[in-house]
Amino acid sequence: MANEFKNKNEFKEEFQRRIIERYGRSFEQAHITEKYMILGEMVRDYASIHWNASKNVVAEKQEKQMYYFSMEFLMGRLLTNNLMNLGIYEIAKEGLAELGQDINELEDLESDAGLGNGGLGRLAACFLDSLASLNLAGHGNCIRYEYGLFKQKIVNNEQVEVPDQWLSLGNVWEVRKPKHAVNVNFGGHVDMWMGEDGKAIVKHVPSLIVRAVPYDMPIVGQNTNLTNTLRLWSAEVADDACDASSLNEYVNEVREICRNVYPDDSTEHGKILRLKQQYFFVAAGLNNIIESHMSTYHTLDNFSEKVAIQLNDTHPVLCIPELMRILMDDYKYDWDQAWDITKNTMAYTNHTVLSEALEKWPIQYVQDLLPRVFMIIEEIDRRFKYEVSHDMGRSDLMNECCVLKDGQVHMANLAIIGSHSVNGVAALHTKILKEDVMKNFHDIYPNKFNNKTNGITHRRWLLYSNPQLSNLLEKTIGPDFKANPERLQDLMKYVDDKDLQKEFMDVKMERKKILAAYIKETLHIDIDVNSIFDVQAKRLHAYKRQLLNVMNIIDLYFRMKQDPSFRIYPRTFIFAAKAAPSYTFAKEVIKLIHYVADKVNNDSDVSPYMKVVFIPNYGVSIAEILMNAADVSEQISTAGKEASGTGNMKFMMNGAITLGTMDGANVEIVEKVGYDHAEIFGLRADDVALVKHENTYDVWRKYNENANIQKVVNSFVDSTFSNDPKDFKQIYNELMFKNDEYLLLADFEAYSHAQKNIEERYRNKEEWAKTCLINIAQSGYFSSDRTIKQYADEIWNIEPVNMK
């Protein structure tokens, strides 16, 4: 039985005892990775004390629980977070120090759990932290991927993907739970016959059976005894699932299901594999929830009163037909009852308006892989069409909104039809869903749509990753903001205080030095900590417009070369971004950034004024040292395209100024801080929509009108940066021969002007510091605690669990 150590002496004793027990060595003899494992296990066991109690209390009190179904959870490292949330960080740190071990060395051994791509996955992780910290019974359901998202290396200025073996040291946080394993069925055919009661009996006879084994990770909140669960499903071979002759093939088929976060879906095999992953974790998770519900209530009549399921984007939307299948085939509910239960249980979050990102599956794939589920989807579609055309008399909307059309299953449509709530992730995004992308659905179901502006956990992103700022805030406004981040507002009273402004700049300097040391150590580049740290860190995508940032850098470079009297305030332009392996344009942009960096950083006229740095392998841990060192937060997507953004909130909370378009949650950031305390530029979402609608934009006109733009665009193809004529040709073509889809040239002048304004602002350090302090003071709204409270009250209908 684990001890709940109360002080550093008890900690030390326990630590040493465990090392001897486990490895048969003394503390001094133990390898550092062994020390890491033991510390992790101690923390996990400490959390486990309340884990079981939490499950019991929730069952005894018959509390409603929420399950967040997401293909991605970008958890990052958990050691520091868990120690801090449990309130035992100092005990462990001091205990280890007395044993001669620096805790930071152990913290650095942990791999990021990189089970996700970007914002959507990190949001899920922030939500888990807030759920537990708010005492809400809310769990995660996902896949235990063998490899996280690829590691990014830069070789010869280009991105190279390397497998992320995050499990190589083992995962101390997880507990394998074979007793909860379930089988998941694929392929085969469906038998139907009439039962004695006259009801149809349906039996799916699968051609592939996979065993789903859960690994549970405890999710501990700050200052609470409630411990939730992140359940990760792993695919294994099922007993007697195939004959020996095809054993190898079967084993391979099973193994690949959980191998990668986002398998390459440029091939048919890759696409089907992704569909398999989706059904795999949906079916396993749902079966499990049903089993546990039945053991408490012995009926599913009250399922939707006791269970809420949030569908994180369309990836888990098979939950809807799967729950229908279980209710009807296994528990004999009729369609209407099953439909009520399903709809009342499910809620769907949309995370993008980009049409290429809205999931559609060829009907054939779904029919072959999931024959029974497909039958149910067909029936959902049939009934929906009937309802809309007959009951509502809106046959005009029927074809737009139905699930099955053009030979494809439209997953977003299925999600909207089969759930009681549809939410966007920022006010502007939800408005665009209602008025444009999902307008027809909004006409049919006006009450389903609602907004839940994203948030970030202020614990990880402020308290733990920026202790310098956190301490300064505590000294100024007291500790209340830690449990109640909206109290950061109290800082508004002090934003004019000159001493505080100075102290804030000192804290920022300290953070900049930490980042500069990391850059020096990993990239061997010296950067000037007195320069403005201008950071754009996010996935690489055309709509996010990293290229616009680069174009401005190139323009500044040319102007400084051409005119010795033109000099800018020293600036370090920092990029961090992974590109999808098959996204060639994005990879070209990464290459361009490196070529520009080479040129600029090695030019002695220009490099005292600007440096360009690309930090490879952007992920949660790098974000923890990058965001809080930034002076400027680049949020420059084409207006209307970025659903919300969450990096923008992390920068804001750490006192950076937003240089951005009126897009996603930037709009709400500006609403909070006022136009004077953000640098906003460019076309608005309405302007973009109009330009697109009326087809009035002409990229060549922009090009011809502005000599600076011309020079920059030409530099992509005139060997300014590379002698290989193939390099950057694609970038040139995308801009000039596809009419600059994301309107970079349209916003170029405004952006360049905004950059100039940033420089003017920075020259006045007191005003600058005041703006940063206002950003921090107004950032409490963007804590995911606020977001989660809104989900809990308005969608899930769950309340804090009283653990006593």
Residues that bind ligand 26V (CB under 6 A): 118-120, 123, 313, 351-352, 354, 356-357, 425, 454, 541, 642-646, 664
Per the DSSP assignment, residues forming a β-bridge with 456 are 783
Q: Pick between residue 221 and residue 645 the one whose CB is nearest to ligand 26V.
A: 645
Distance, in Å, from the CA atom of 238 to the CA atom of 231, rounded to the nearest integer, reads: 20
To the nearest whole angstrom, how small is the minimum distance from the Cβ of residue 350 to ligand 26V? 9
Q: Pick between residue 73 and residue 333 the one whose CB is nearest to ligand 26V.
A: 73
Full DSSP string of 228-289: EEEEEEEEEEPTT-S-GGGHHHHHHHHHHHTT-SS--TTSHHHHHHHHHHHHHHHHHHHHHH
Q: Pick between residue 666 and residue 715 the one whose CB is nearest to ligand 26V.
A: 666
To the nearest whole angstrom, how small is the minimum distance from the Cβ of residue 351 to ligand 26V? 3
HEC readout, 616-631: CCCCHHHHHHHHHHCC
Active site residues: 351, 538-539, 544, 646, 650
Q: Give the nearest residue (CB) to ligand 26V.
A: 119
Q: Kindly state the tokens that stand for 183.
A: 């089988």
To the nearest whole angstrom, how small is the minimum distance from the Cβ of residue 423 to ligand 26V? 10
Phi, psi angles (nearest 5°) of residue 706: -130, 115
Q: Are 742 and 543 in contact (CB under 8 A)?
A: yes
Distance, in Å, from the CA atom of 313 to the CA atom of 488, rounded to the nearest integer, reads: 31
Helix and strand totals (H; E) in the chain: 33, 25
Q: Pick between residue 138 and residue 214 the one whose CB is nearest to ligand 26V.
A: 138
Q: Pick between residue 423 and residue 531 the one whose CB is nearest to ligand 26V.
A: 423
Q: Are 465 and 624 in contact (CB under 8 A)?
A: yes
Q: Pick between residue 218 and residue 645 the one whose CB is nearest to ligand 26V.
A: 645
To the nearest whole angstrom, how small is the minimum distance from the Cβ of residue 626 to ligand 26V? 17
To the nearest whole angstrom, how small is the minimum distance from the Cβ of residue 786 to ligand 26V? 15
To the nearest whole angstrom, how small is the minimum distance from the Cβ of residue 542 to ligand 26V? 9
Distance, in Å, from the CA atom of 356 to the CA atom of 734, rounded to the nearest integer, reads: 17
Q: Are 411 and 402 in contact (CB under 8 A)?
A: no
- Locate all alpha helices (DSSP H) within 299-410, ordered by sequence: 303-306, 319-325, 335-345, 363-369, 371-386, 395-401
Would you tell me how many other CB atoms lie within 10 Å of the CB of residue 200?
10
Per the DSSP assignment, residues forming a β-bridge with 307 are 65
Q: Are 190 and 204 in contact (CB under 8 A)?
A: yes
404-405/408-410 β-pairing: antiparallel
To the nearest whole angstrom, how small is the minimum distance from the Cβ of residue 161 to ligand 26V? 16
To the nearest whole angstrom, how small is the minimum distance from the Cβ of residue 788 to ligand 26V? 14
To the nearest whole angstrom, how small is the minimum distance from the Cβ of residue 643 to ligand 26V? 4
Burial of 735 (0-12, 13-18, 19+ CB in 10 A): buried
Q: Pick between residue 582 and residue 704 the one whose CB is nearest to ligand 26V.
A: 582
Phi, psi angles (nearest 5°) of residue 154: -110, 120
Distance, in Å, from the CA atom of 293 to the CA atom of 286, rounded to the nearest integer, reads: 10
Full DSSP string of 114-172: EESSSHHHHHHHHHHHHHHHTT--EEEEEE--SSEEEEEEEETTEEEEEEE-TTTT--T
Phi, psi angles (nearest 5°) of residue 400: -65, -40
Non-local (6+) Cβ contacts of 120 within 8 A are 70, 72, 312, 313, 351
Q: Pick between residue 313 and residue 740 the one whose CB is nearest to ligand 26V.
A: 313
To the nearest whole angstrom, how small is the minimum distance from the Cβ of residue 443 to ligand 26V? 25
Which letter, b or e, does each residue of 384-405 get, where b requires 16 or more Cβ atoms within 10 Å of its Cβ? bbeebeeeeebeebbebbbbbe
Identify which of 545, 579, 626 has the alpha carbon closest to the alpha carbon of residue 154.
579
Residue written as token pair 């070789």: 155
Q: Pick between residue 120 and residue 473 the one whose CB is nearest to ligand 26V.
A: 120
To the nearest whole angstrom, how small is the minimum distance from the Cβ of residue 642 to ligand 26V? 5
Residue written as token pair 């002496």: 9
To the nearest whole angstrom, how small is the minimum distance from the Cβ of residue 352 to ligand 26V? 4
Q: How far, CA to CA in Å, does 288 sit from each of 185, 309, 544, 719? A: 15, 13, 39, 59
Q: Pick between residue 120 and residue 622 the one whose CB is nearest to ligand 26V.
A: 120
| Chain centroid offset of residue 455 CA | 11
HEC readout, 551-572: HHHHHHHHHHHHCCCCCCCCEE
Question: Helices 584-601 and 729-737, interaxial angle, to 10°?
Answer: 120
To the nearest whole angstrom, how small is the minimum distance from the Cβ of residue 153 to ligand 26V? 23
Q: Pick between residue 518 and residue 583 the one whose CB is nearest to ligand 26V.
A: 583
Full DSSP string of 37-68: HHHHHHHHHHHHHHHHHHHHHHHHTT--EEEE
Q: Kindly state the tokens that stand for 163.
A: 């497998």
158-164/148-155 β-pairing: antiparallel
Would you tell me how many other CB atoms lie within 10 Å of the CB of residue 20?
13
Question: Helices 89-98 and 32-60, interaxial angle, to 10°?
Answer: 150
Q: Pick between residue 579 and residue 744 the one whose CB is nearest to ligand 26V.
A: 579
Q: Pick between residue 322 and residue 642 the one whose CB is nearest to ligand 26V.
A: 642
